[in-house]
Structure 1
Amino acid sequence: MIPLPNEIILQIITYLEPEEVVNLQHVSRRLLELSRDDNIWKQLCFEHSIGERRRRRRLQSPPDTDPHLAELIRAANNVSGSFPTQAFALNALDPDASTHRSASKRRAALLANWDPTYVGEKVNFYEEFIQRHAPHSMRWLQEAKYGHEDDGLRREATGAGVLYGEDGVADKLIAPLEDGSISIYDVPGNTEREGKMIARTEIGLLADRGSDLDQDTRLNQSQTIMTETGAVECVSVDSGQKKAFFAVQNVLNEVDLNTLQVISRTTYPFAITALSESRHPTPMTVGTNWTLHLHDTRKPAVAQAEVKCELIGGPTTDSFSRLYRDEFGGHVSLTQPGPLSILHLPTTRESDGNGDIWVGGRFTSFLNFDRRFFPRIHGTVHSGARLSCLTALPHPFIPHELRQQRPSTSTASLLHEAKAAPGYTLIAAGEYKGKGSLELYGLSSEPTRTCYQNRQTASSSKLLSVAAHGTRLVFSDGDGNLKWVERDASTPVRHFNINDPVPNDPPPPPPSSIASSTPTSPPGIQLLNPAASSSAVFDTPLSSGDIVQKIIPTLSPSLHHYNTQRSRDASALGQDNLLIWTGDGRLGVVGFGRGDDVFQDAVEHLEDVAEEAMRDGEGSGSRGRERERESLRERERAFEAQMRWALEGQAREARWLRGYGL
């Protein structure tokens, strides 16, 4: 088989199942390279997609269908388009060849209809198949502990941001803690410190509570200040300048990540609710409950006494064209609170007349600003939903109707033309009448290509965050679900709930057994049902009812905006994962497959094992105290679960009443 040309080997590989293709990679380097061919895995992604499986099920006629009608349906399905009369006459003598060619053309048209890529976009379909069908894994970062080490108390993260390396892969995760400190985590997956906290500042740094206060006072005041506003988009990291911006109440803290010292503090008239991305030298957009500001890091911070802002009574009508007022010179004053997400479209794009800044939040419209004419508004778009998160794709939006047309040569040409056109897709996640709403807006300089799609039934609860992940979209909802859909925002790909236990799998071993256990699964990936999962919790187990507040890709979105080829080179197998920040203040990584484990060594557990062994040597008294503390923790967890269940029931009743207009 080895002397065979590559073309013949590739043709043979197309007849193998995905598991067999994966095993074939271990034979030789040549077969490894051939088994990773993008065309093979693109075809496998298409064949195993939910849309294609649904189409094949529809082709299977019901048992009570008339045999002649079923034969007619099968014949019609084999027709891929209108053929010239001459070609049909030539193929009349060889019906098998004609049927084969018709089936091939129809299959090619169906593949083109499904193809999620755009012109010039480079995609690793081997990794796409892993992320679509391989089992997922949950890895939780080391938690910040406080108090006595035996108490097991932890500090919750109040936000999250990512510092990307020069290759565009997440290098460090930056998180403010509820005690006012900043923690730095190592998350690239290629060092022995994976998932560990590698640096942490003193408490009270972000809350501006120094050593002039005693420990307890500084801790209590810092915790009150850090948890008062509760903004989700409260951290923005400038990877180029190695700086991070943290919003705490109405103060914007600029921190040098090299020294972990506060460079400046800028005070705003109201509590900060959203921060845009930070990329030097573009000014960052800061949203407060009632205002919008441009923050230029090249300017010195404005003293608190110089910040003056006065709100005048808002309009009596609900016209969204009056949602803003720019009468304060350089600031935009809002008549409705408050912005929750601010999106900067790439500035290197061709001018499309849509401006650079998009703002969404509790008000039911988008605000669009052109940074060159700020604070004058560029336009508004009515949505009707209360939005939680905004993101964008550097590609035009393909209408659902165009993809659903009958596959043919003309449809394929129309799809190619639509994908090649310049434009962007604005993606918004939020809530509409108590249901999760996922909205897509096509932004283009050509009015005929401007379109809109709203999926008001994306989830039974509010959507909290959305991000682009490969050729898919991923979003989280208020029930703890993570859901992946195609770029049409309607075709499901996979989903799981972060609170669900691993199906048909024993619970994770206690820390004492981790040191003696050895993994038995072979390297590489194991292709299983999308519903299957694997989970490893390196600290205390998750409490029931946790939710994902923020999703951050481990590959920088700017790579997809500016350099698709570099994005493909940087996204080595297992690096295109998702960082999450949950409602319980936890930080974790969602990976896929058995070969992309982000954490290989549970260092913190080995330390716990050693400490437990030392405590065991102290006698039975220490073991009794340990059992008593464990019993207390169990009661605390049970009480938290009961309170969460009661609050969830109250929230469900409130959503049900809102459905009746109450």
Structure 2
Amino acid sequence: MHHLPDELVLQIICYLEPEELINLQHVSRQFLRLSRDNNLWRSLCFEHSAAERRRRRMLPTTDLDPRLVELIRAANDVANAFPFGVHDPSAPSADTQVQRNVGKRRAALLANWDPSYPGEKVDFYQEFIQRHAPHELRWFQEAKHGSQDDNLRHEATGAGIVYGTDGLAEKLVAPLEDGSVCVWDASAREGQLGRIVARSAVGLLPGKGSDLDMDTRLRQSRAAMTETGAIECVSVDSRAGKAFFSVQNTLNEVDLHTLQVVSRAPYPFPITALSEARHPTPLTVGTNWTLHLHDSRAPPSTYTPAAGASRCELIAGAPSSPSFSRLKTGDVGAHVSLAQPGALSIAHLPTAREWDANGDIWVAGRFTSLLNFDRRYFPRLRGTVHSGARLSCLAALPFPFVSRSSVSKHGAAAGHTLVAAGEYKGKGSLELYSLSTDPSRGINSSDSRTTRNSQACYHNRQTASASKLLSVAPHGTRLVFSDGDGGLKWVERDASAAVRSLNINIDVEKAKPGVAQRGSEPGYGDIVQKILPTADTSLHATRPEVPLGQDNLILWTGDGRLGVLGFGQPAEEEWKDAVEEWEGEAAEERGREREYAGRMREALEMQAREMRWLRGYGL
């Protein structure tokens, strides 16, 4: 096999099953490289996809009614450009033509299924693992308090990730209910993942200092940290090494190197949402009734409704009359006053992207429309997009949402996809909106008829789950979202085709020992409030290559637990070539044989000399 060309070996091993291919990787470096061929695993991902399995089940068989067989064959011929049949079955080349048609049809089906965008680099070996390999949920080490015998722990009230320069998670930062900030190791180092590496003083975020006794500090801190219940209450600026934590109506800026509060900015109402923090872009802060731009470099300013407020009356409901006389924040410019509470999620789009007729800031919440702002003209509202659902989470993909037919006809255009998850009439709602550079295929928030345009690419799936969706995030070439029943579901980028699912209350019995506390188990009826990918690739037009086993998900549950969800077996620290190892063992065995033969020769020669010496004495 070592003397065969790689192309021929690849044609042979393509008939193996995935389990056999994985075992073949341990034979030699050549087989390791060939067994991870990207096109090979792309084909395996397609063959094991739900859409292909469903299509194969619908193929006509001899057990069906002949009339139904003809109907299915006709439907397949209409739906596919390359039918199986030929015009003249008696022709000498009929069999060859059938085989060619089968290959062309399979290539067309594979191209139609391929979830990757033009120019996107996808590791389909890792994709197959994340789609079909067994899952593994490992809980992070718990922050204990009180006596060890009491088994008491502090619950996390939020979560944020510190990413390294390679875009991979290094640390997990979370505020605890006692008002402290805790830092865990979120890297993929063996034996360190999930361990607490630093923790601040109790009462740091709510400002409960050592002038109070410990019981009072704990009681008052717990009341302040759990009063608002905001999900998007943590935002981490990995480049600047700082994090923002919202506690009631105060925004705390914390230096992650010293775990000390650098500044506090008060707001007129409880903070309900924070955007991502990415220097030097200002942070967008959402409260129950207002929206603000926060720049920690700017000095605090005082605003009044006449000078700095922009009223947003686009959503039906009774207008409020909040007083801004005590408003003194770190805002840049003015603020927006909402007519209905309250903002729950804020998404920032890259400022360097190509123009797509929309602004940089998208806001969603309990109101039934998406609000769009251009940071250059803030607080002026650029436009809205009607959803009808009450949204709880926003995410962005670095590619526009377009149908396959649009790609084949017009080619791929630059842009982004805005993903929104929430609740519509008691059911989970998952929505996709195309922010394409092509005006004919992207939505425009300033156009009130945007969702009525048949050419605009958007998708509204109002029955994604039986319960409300709580969080959504991109994961490889898929979307993953959580619902109110404790479920996690993966779908293709069309938001419709199911990939896999699990429930943290049913499918996950307990955490893996050695990473978190032993015996740590999720509570009955737990939910996933927030999903955090360990690979920060959502805003890159071309996804960088993520090392195998490091594209995982960090989960923050309703019980205040933190865990990492991975798939498959962890990668070996030191991979060994079986052939080289065998050759090395054979060489070592030959060396031992030569050493043994040499010693035996020396012993026999010594015995011969002794015999000659004794013979000289007549013995």
**Alignment partner of 1:70: what SS?**
helix
CA contact (8 A) 2:309 2:336 kept: no
Give the letter aligned to residue 282 of structure 1: T
**Residue in 2 that maps onto 1:475:** 481
Structure 1 position 394 matched with structure 2 position 393: no
**Residue in 1 that maps onto 2:14:** 14
1:596-635 mapped onto 2 (5 Å cutoff): none
CA contact (8 A) 1:139 1:537 kept: no
**Residue in 2 that maps onto 1:347:** 351
Structure 1 position 548 matched with structure 2 position 548: no
The CA distance in 1 between the partners of 2:364 and 2:314, in whole Å, is 20
The CA distance in 1 between the partners of 2:92 and 2:459, in whole Å, is 48
**Residue in 2 that maps onto 1:489:** 495
The CA distance in 2 between the partners of 1:508 and 1:288, in whole Å, is 36
CA contact (8 A) 2:469 2:484 kept: yes
**Residue in 1 that maps onto 2:569:** 594
Give the letter aligned to residue 583 of structure 1: G
- CA deviations 1:336-359 (Å, max 9, x no partner) are 000000000111211111110000
Shift of 1:60: 3.4
Is the alpha carbon distance of 1:71 and 1:15 closer, same or farther for their aligned partners in structure 2, counting shifts above 3 Å? farther
Task: Determine which structure has the larger helix proportion and give its number.
Answer: 1
Structure 1 position 464 matched with structure 2 position 463: no
Give the letter aligned to residue 418 of structure 2: L
CA contact (8 A) 2:310 2:337 kept: no
Structure 1 position 572 matched with structure 2 position 552: no
Is the alpha carbon distance of 1:75 and 1:100 closer, same or farther for their aligned partners in structure 2, counting shifts above 3 Å? farther
> Which structure is higher in RCO with an 8 Å CA cutoff and minimum separation 6?
1
1:43-62 mapped onto 2 (5 Å cutoff): 43-61=43-61
CA contact (8 A) 1:273 1:287 kept: yes
**Residue in 1 that maps onto 2:557:** 582
1:366-381 mapped onto 2 (5 Å cutoff): 366-381=370-385
1:203-242 mapped onto 2 (5 Å cutoff): 203-242=202-241
**Residue in 1 that maps onto 2:594:** none
1:188-587 mapped onto 2 (5 Å cutoff): 188-302=187-301, 306=302, 319=316, 330-399=334-403, 402=404, 414-416=406-408, 420-449=412-441, 450-501=456-507, 538-557=518-537, 560-564=539-543, 567-568=544-545, 571-587=546-562
CA contact (8 A) 2:282 2:294 kept: yes
TM-score, normalising length: structure 1: 0.78
Shift of 1:193: 2.4
Give the letter aligned to residue 557 of structure 2: T
The CA distance in 1 between the partners of 2:92 and 2:119, in whole Å, is 42
Answer with 1 or 2: which has the greater Rg. 2
The CA distance in 2 between the partners of 1:312 and 1:96, in whole Å, is 75
Give the letter aligned to residue 382 of structure 2: H
- CA deviations 1:528-565 (Å, max 9, x no partner) are xxxxxxx997453211000000000000135x52543x
Is the alpha carbon distance of 1:6 and 1:165 closer, same or farther for their aligned partners in structure 2, counting shifts above 3 Å? same
CA contact (8 A) 2:88 2:94 kept: no
The CA distance in 2 between the partners of 1:498 and 1:318, in whole Å, is 37
**Alignment partner of 1:59: what SS?**
coil
CA contact (8 A) 2:139 2:511 kept: no
CA contact (8 A) 2:140 2:516 kept: no
1:96-175 mapped onto 2 (5 Å cutoff): 96-175=95-174
Shift of 1:480: 0.1
Give the letter aligned to residue 142 of structure 1: Q
Deviates more, 1:245-254 or 1:189-198: 189-198
The CA distance in 1 between the partners of 2:23 and 2:499, in whole Å, is 24
The CA distance in 2 between the partners of 1:259 and 1:418, in whole Å, is 53
Is the alpha carbon distance of 1:309 and 1:196 closer, same or farther for their aligned partners in structure 2, counting shifts above 3 Å? farther
TM-score, normalising length: structure 2: 0.83
Shift of 1:2: 1.3
CA contact (8 A) 2:421 2:430 kept: yes
**Alignment partner of 2:148: what SS?**
coil
Shift of 1:93: 2.9
**Alignment partner of 2:218: what SS?**
helix
The CA distance in 2 between the partners of 1:259 and 1:562, in whole Å, is 34
CA contact (8 A) 1:267 1:307 kept: no
The CA distance in 2 between the partners of 1:537 and 1:125, in whole Å, is 34
CA contact (8 A) 1:138 1:536 kept: no
**Alignment partner of 1:194: what SS?**
coil
Unaligned runs of 5+ in 2: 328-332, 442-455, 574-619
CA contact (8 A) 1:138 1:537 kept: no
The CA distance in 1 between the partners of 2:342 and 2:89, in whole Å, is 69
- CA deviations 1:173-215 (Å, max 9, x no partner) are 0000000000000021215322111100010000001111111
**Residue in 2 that maps onto 1:4:** 4
The CA distance in 2 between the partners of 1:562 and 1:363, in whole Å, is 31
**Residue in 2 that maps onto 1:35:** 35
Is the alpha carbon distance of 1:29 and 1:294 closer, same or farther for their aligned partners in structure 2, counting shifts above 3 Å? same
The CA distance in 1 between the partners of 2:105 and 2:542, in whole Å, is 33
Give the letter aligned to residue 561 of structure 1: H
Shift of 1:76: 7.1
The CA distance in 2 between the partners of 1:490 and 1:441, in whole Å, is 14
Is the alpha carbon distance of 1:308 and 1:228 closer, same or farther for their aligned partners in structure 2, counting shifts above 3 Å? farther
**Residue in 2 that maps onto 1:647:** none
- CA deviations 1:471-497 (Å, max 9, x no partner) are 000000000000000001010000010
Shift of 1:444: 1.8
The CA distance in 2 between the partners of 1:574 and 1:549, in whole Å, is 23
CA contact (8 A) 2:243 2:254 kept: yes
The CA distance in 1 between the partners of 2:142 and 2:311, in whole Å, is 45
Give the letter aligned to residue 540 of structure 1: S
